[in-house]
Structure 1
Amino acid sequence: MTDTATDNADICLATLRETDRDRYLACLLSPIEKRGALAALYAFNAEIARVRDVAREPLPGEIRLQWWRDLLEGTSHGESSANPVAAGLLAAIETHRLPRQTLIDMIDGRIFDLYDDPLSDRNALEGYAGETASALIQLASLILSPADAARSAEAAGHAGVAQAIAGLLLLMPIHRRRGQLYLPLDILAATGLDRDSFLLGEEKAKISAAIEAFAGLGLEHFAKARRASPVPASVFAAFLPVTLAEPVLRRAAREGAKVLETSLQQPQWRRQLRLVKAIVTKKF
Structure 2
Amino acid sequence: MAGSSNLVMEAVRAADHDRYLSALYAPADKRDALLALYAFNAEIAGVRDRIHEPLPGEVRLQWWRDVIASEDGADTGHPTADALKATITANRLPKAAFENMLDARTFDLYDDPMPSRTDLEGYCGETAAALIQLVAMALDPIAAPGFAEFAGRAGCAQAITGLLLLLPLHRRRGQCYVPADILAAAGSSPEEFVKGEGGAAEQRAAAAMIALARDHLSAFEKGAPALPVSLRPAFLPLALTRGYLDKMEKTGRSPLDGAVVLSTLRRHWLLLRHAMRGWAGL
Q: How many residues align?
A: 279
The residue number in structure 2 matching 1:15 is 11
Q: 1:257 to 1:176 in 2, by over 3 A?
A: farther
**5+ residue gaps, structure 1:** none
**Pair 1:120 & 2:84 matched:** no
Q: Which runs of 4+ in 1 moved over 6 A?
A: none
- The normalised TM-score by structure 2 is 0.94
The residue number in structure 2 matching 1:168 is 163
Aligned residue identity for 1:160: G
Could you tell me how far apart the structure 2 residues matched to 1:143 and 1:280 are? 20
Q: State the SS of the aligned residue for 1:259.
A: coil
| Deviation at residue 44 of structure 1 after TM alignment | 0.5
The residue number in structure 2 matching 1:268 is 264
The residue number in structure 1 matching 2:63 is 67
| Deviation at residue 79 of structure 1 after TM alignment | 5.1
The residue number in structure 2 matching 1:239 is 235
The residue number in structure 2 matching 1:196 is 191
Could you tell me how far apart the structure 1 residues matched to 2:249 and 2:199 are? 14
Say whether the 8 Å CA contact 2:206–2:256 is kept in structure 1: no
**5+ residue gaps, structure 2:** none
Structure 1, 44-53 or 240-249: larger mean CA deviation: 240-249
Could you tell me how far apart the structure 2 residues matched to 1:179 and 1:213 are? 20
Structure 1, 37-46 or 10-19: larger mean CA deviation: 10-19
CA RMSD of aligned residues (A): 1.9
The residue number in structure 2 matching 1:251 is 247
**Pair 1:224 & 2:219 matched:** yes
- The normalised TM-score by structure 1 is 0.93
Aligned residue identity for 1:102: A
**Pair 1:129 & 2:124 matched:** yes
| Deviation at residue 9 of structure 1 after TM alignment | 2.1
Say whether the 8 Å CA contact 1:9–1:37 is kept in structure 2: no
Q: State the SS of the aligned residue for 2:255.
A: helix
Q: 1:191 to 1:257 in 2, by over 3 A?
A: farther
The residue number in structure 1 matching 2:177 is 182
**Pair 1:147 & 2:136 matched:** no
Q: 1:223 to 1:168 in 2, by over 3 A?
A: same
Aligned residue identity for 1:74: S
